[in-house]
Amino acid sequence: MGVSEKLRKAIEEMGFENPMPVQEKVIPHLLTQDGDVVALAQTGTGKTAAFGLPVLQRVDADRMVPQALILSPTRELCLQIAADLADFSKYMPDIRVIPVYGGSSIQSQIRSLRDGAQIIVATPGRLIDLINRGVVKLGDVHTVVLDEADEMLNMGFIDSINEILEHVPDERKMLMFSATMPKEVAKIAKKYMKDPVEFVVGTRNEGAANVRHIYYMVNARDKYLALKRIADVNPDIYAIVFCRTRRDTQEVAENLIRDGYNADALHGDLSQQQRDIVMKKFRDRVISMLVATDVAARGLDVDDLTHVINYGLPDDTAVYTHRSGRTGRAGKTGVSVAIIHSREKGKLREIERIIGKTFERKEVPTPDHIIEKQLFHLADRIERAEVDDAELERFMPGVMKKLGWLSGEDLTKRVLSLELRRLLNYYKDAPAIDFIDEKPSRKKTDRERAIEGPRSDKDKDRRTASRGMERLYINLGKRDGFFAGNLIDMLNKCVEGARVDVGRIDLLPGYSLFDVKKSDARRVVSSLKGLDFMGKRVYSEVAEADKDYAHAATRRSREKFDDAPAAPANRKARRKEKFAQQDEVMDPYDSFAMFKKKSKRK
């Protein structure tokens, strides 16, 4: 491909034998052709070598001035690129690569830059600071590389890129590498690049070819239980668990640690020192599950991830593409898992359409399945264990005197029983995780309803709480404009103390039933009683399995109307009075009452 002998010797010592597809396409072009380049390829497909080797070969080692500039969105990616370039240039001692980034001492970076460098790898913010201080001068730069361009745009660096490019000569070679090609990236290419040649590995915005996409559909309350079972059924798991918010990230990580998993959190509330410690532990496999937000995990370069787990699906499909691209790297296989509830099914299908992959539906592993998998894993470890005869020789006589009467089968049973007992105790009271049926609902005919008979059993089941939960009744239903979102808002706003975790919610025309933890039930009931919702006084109680709440709700409605003053005679007057009453009780900042404005006609 035209790579110099010194570079080829270094990469061969690193264990690289055959070029990857993006390298086969890009490297020969960059070494033999002028002009700008846009390369679209998934994370982990060898993009650093694709632009790094040509950049190293094109710089003039005799001139100790910046000749190539590589911009990356995060500190971690900046350090990773600089380390890779240093490895590639092992036999090019006159080539100097300096990373500059925020979160580290700017004075030490200034001292390094004053000693001179041909290649600068930088995050945009820190580079602008150094330019403004007069430390970095880009007048001799002939190559600019934007790595992870789509991530840079997502992080809001467009203005910084504009400012940096003003200091670079117009006659530059510009290279842009990205995993996806959103409209914003296309605009950058059009604005700053001159007739760029585009190289696409795979198809635009597609997911990585060697990543398997699966999903588990569970009730929202069971997401954490499903996550634990996914970890348990994969004993060698090495995964990033992506959450949507910092709060969820910290909560999930703390729960995993409490339950005995090697896990930790990575999010924006951590200091740079804390982030470095967590990431070092993850790279060293001290922890096997890193729970992270998308922003915090950008630039985290780990090659051997077995799983990427989406604890919450992202709103942007490009974000999912970046997440899933973190596994199955460098020709290896990986698994991208989505733990979703029924309301996220549409978002999942949209991701499928854009990335051109089909998600495989899986049932959450059962305790029996997990126990079997764990025992086979233990047997595999025993089989592959390296035996040091010299070290064991001192201890074998005593051990054989103790265990020599056992046959090989008896000894195997006893070893496995130690692990089996632990697993049986762990899963003894494990709650069942419901399998959600995805088949579309169909209205029953009168004949089918007649055959089914009375619905009293179904109603009784509806009034029964899930294991470990308490079933609560509230006298608000769909007829009152009351839905799940209103209930969650009401609990978050009106119940003091720790956040209330809500389980199954059943919304009926005249009332609703919902599950909360038993320890929260009394607190929730006392907080809800007496509230006002759209002019209706709220009543709540712990649901009784044998109570007919449908008739109770009807009686409450009648009592309300019996006590009410006589309504105006005509419909127009009744409507006018209704809205006047609503305006009297409505707080414009009350999230429960906001939709009154929407329903009010001009």
pLDDT digits (tens, 9 = 90+) for 190-228: 777 888 888 877 545 444 557 889 999 888 888 999 999
Contacts of 446 (CB under 8 A, 6+ apart): none
- The overall average pLDDT reported for the chain is 78
Q: What is the arithmetic mean of pLDDT over 96-123? A: 89
d(CA 460, CA 471): 12
Residue 264 has pLDDT above 90, yes or no: yes
> Which amino acid belongs to residue 282?
F
d(CA 458, CA 301): 52
Alpha helices in 325-477 (DSSP H): 345-355, 367-384, 389-392, 396-403, 408-426, 446-452, 456-462
Residue 37 has pLDDT above 70, yes or no: yes
Q: What is the pLDDT of residue 131?
A: 92
Q: What is the pLDDT of residue 381?
A: 77
Beta bridge partners of 514: 472, 505
d(CA 328, CA 45): 9
d(CA 348, CA 215): 9
According to DSSP, the β-strands at 197-200 and 37-40 are parallel
**Biggest CA-to-CA distance, the chain:** 102
pLDDT digits (tens, 9 = 90+) for 182-199: 666 777 777 778 888 888
Nearest Cα residue to 224 out of 251, 247, 245: 251
State percent of the chain over pLDDT 90: 17
Q: What is the pTM of this model?
A: 0.51
Q: Angle at Cα 413 formed by Cα 410 and Cα 416, nearest 5°? A: 150
